[in-house]
Amino acid sequence: MEVYNLDYERRLRQPGDELVLGGIAYRLEGVEGKGGSAVMYRAGYEDELNRGVFHQVYIKELFSVQVNGCIYRDEDGNIVCRGEGRKLMEFSKTRFRQGNAANLELLREMPADISGNINSFESYGTYYSILSIHGGEEMQQKLENGGVVDLREAVMIVWKILDALECFHSHGLLHLDISPDNILLTPTQALLIDYNSIWLASDIENPDFVFSNKEGYSAPEVLLRNVSCLGRATDLYSVCAVFFRMLAGRMLSEEEIVGNGLKRCFAEGFPILEREPGSARHKVMQILAKGLHTLAKKHYQTVKELRAEIRELIDRIDRKGVSEAAIWESSRAVFRRMRKGGGDFLPRVLRDKEGQTGPLQQLKDRLEEGGLYLLRGAGGVGKTRLLSEIWEQGV
């Protein structure tokens, strides 16, 4: 099992380079993104009938990071492997083919939700895939060009990412490489465009498992190589890390992942939240605290679970109604501010107008069933304190 070090500098193809794949000449326009095993280029090729008119595509090149320089590009543009790099490259090629197969299967079943794989080729010592462009913007580029406008925009992007991720999880697949450089944003959806880390959830404990380590986005179980803890929650951690990136304007740091680092970050606050309702700010912190928990079993476990939280957040941003959760949080905050010391609460016996007596719990049970009551009694017998006890137990 090996984790790639993305700090290794690969020599990438340059704008203006020409790639001939399947008899078609593609002219590269620039790098769109790069992960631990592949590089995504934007490219164009000339229409065979209408000369001078060009089609725009993405070209994904398999070019695995190898810290010892055993996988490199030679002067002719070919990918060359030597020593231990040969085994890694062969494994990467297998993963590339498996990723393409998963992509094509999802594309067949849900063409509107999946990035299109036009064709794939073996050439220049490696593999290439030609992918259709949906007219979107790479998320990494968006973040570098100013990021999101407000909380609602960030939340709607998360919603779109969950839509895309649900396609994988519903087919028993884990993506395991969710980060801004692997997300393409269109006006209506988010597309996950790199499939080289995909695994069947049922095959996750394969001893040959190799995965990408993305600083600021990979879950702790990935960083610690704890394969037995990998699952759908691992992908959802990365979604929450992307959410953090949009709100904070930077990646999650290693110090914030462990200990009380995240709490200190929350205390400082995010400028993007300053104009948002207090209940929305509180919900954001709840989502990030759970979604970025260091323990996999404490993460969100399903897309449905996280989506429910995001839906609640959207309602709070839009000030749409008052949810039970918002009432509870507001009540809890008020109780903490008003609470005063008064010693232990002495048990009280309540007597109704029919003369029947009962404990406090009986009153609580009846209130929860919709009962209405008028408390009577002389001053100082504990009416207000009794209500405070009920309040405290509720929050």
Domain annotation covers residue 5: no
Helix or strand run (H / E) with residue 372: none
pLDDT(385) > 70: yes
Structural domain contains residue 283: yes
Output the pLDDT for position 167: 82
| Contact assessment for residue 251 and residue 216, using Cβ atoms and an 8 Å cutoff | yes
Among 69, 100, 132, residue at a domain's last position? 132
Q: Are residues 249 and 221 in the same domain?
A: yes
Q: Above 90 in pLDDT, residue 238?
A: yes
More confident: 94 or 179: 179
Task: Give yes or no for residue 274 having a pLDDT over 80.
Answer: yes
Split at pLDDT 50, 70, 90, the class of 211 is low
Q: What is the CATH number of the domain that holds 301?
A: 1.10.510.10
Highest-pLDDT range among 36-40, 104-108, 233-237, 355-359: 233-237
Number of domains in the chain: 3
Structure tokens at 93: 């090629």
168 phi and psi, to 5 degrees? -75, -50
**What's the rounded Cα separation, in Å, for the pair 202 and 173?**
9
Range of the domain at 288: 137-325
Measured distance CA(305)–CA(298) in Å, rounded: 12
Residues 33 and 66 in one domain: yes
CB contact burial 159-177 (16+ within 10 A = b; e otherwise)? bbbbbbbbbbbeeebbbbb
pLDDT for 286-303, tens place per residue?
999 999 999 999 999 999
193 and 314, same domain (yes or no) = yes
Q: Return all residues near 192 (Cβ < 8 A) that are at least 6 apart.
A: 115, 161, 164, 165, 168, 175, 178, 182, 183
Nearest to 177 by CA among 203, 211, 146: 211
Closest residue by Cα to residue 119 from 22, 38, 43, 19: 22
Query: Which of the four pLDDT bands, split at 50, 70 and 90, describes residue 284?
Result: very high
Q: For the chain, give the mean pLDDT.
A: 83
Strand partners, 368: none
Q: Could you tell me if residue 3 is inside a domain?
A: no
In tens, the pLDDT along 137-184 reads: 889 889 998 889 899 999 999 999 999 898 888 888 888 889 998 888
Q: How confident is the model at residue 291, as a pLDDT? A: 95
9 in a structural domain: no
To which H or E segment does residue 79 belong? strand 79-81
Q: 297 with 377, same domain? A: no
Q: Which of 76, 104, 132 is the last residue of a domain?
A: 132
The stretch 188-195 carries a mean pLDDT of 77
Q: Is 261 buried (19+), middle (13-18) or exposed (0-12) by CB count in 10 A?
A: middle
Interatomic CA distance for residues 205 and 203, integer angstroms? 6
Written as six digits, the tokens of 181 are 């450089």
Given the structure tokens 């009280």, which residue do they identify?
348
Boundary-marking domain end, from 132, 148, 169? 132
Q: Is residue 311 part of a domain?
A: yes
Picking from 5, 1, 136, 121, the residue whose alpha carbon sits closest to that of residue 68 is 5
Asked if residue 331 is part of any domain, the answer here is: no
Q: Long-range contacts for 39-47 (Cβ within 8 Å, ≥24 apart)?
A: 39/10, 39/12, 39/13, 39/63, 40/131, 40/181, 40/193, 40/194, 41/13, 42/133, 43/19
Asked whether residue 351 falls in the same domain as residue 320, the answer is: no
171 plus 319 within the same structural domain: yes
pLDDT in tens, 107-145: 777 666 566 678 899 999 999 999 887 667 889 889 998
In this structure, the strands spanning 117-123 and 173-174 are: unpaired
Query: How far is it, in rounded angstroms, from Cα 153 to Cα 157?
Result: 6
Smallest CA-to-CA distance from 131 within 11, 17, 238, 32 is with 32
**Do 184 and 39 fall within a single domain?**
no
Q: Are residues 128 and 142 in the same domain?
A: no
pTM of the shown model: 0.70
Q: Are residues 195 and 291 in the same domain?
A: yes
Q: Considering the domain boundaries, does residue 13 fall inside one?
A: no
Residues 124 and 149 in one domain: no
pLDDT tier at 3, thresholds 50, 70, 90: very low
How many other CB atoms are found less than 10 A from the CB of residue 373? 10
Tell me the one-letter amino acid at 115: S
Specify whether 198 is located in the same domain as 295: yes
Long-range contacts of 357-365 (CB under 8 A, 24+ apart): 360/386, 360/389, 360/390, 363/390, 364/390, 364/393
Give the number of other Cβ atoms within 10 Å of residue 354's Cβ: 5
Do both 153 and 278 map to the same domain?
A: yes
Instruction: Determine, yes or no, domain membership for 2.
Output: no
Cα separation, 352 vs 26, whole angstroms = 86
User: Of the given ranges (289-293, 334-338, 344-348), which has the lowest mean pLDDT?
Assistant: 344-348
The residues that bridge with 18 in the sheet, in sequence order, are: 27
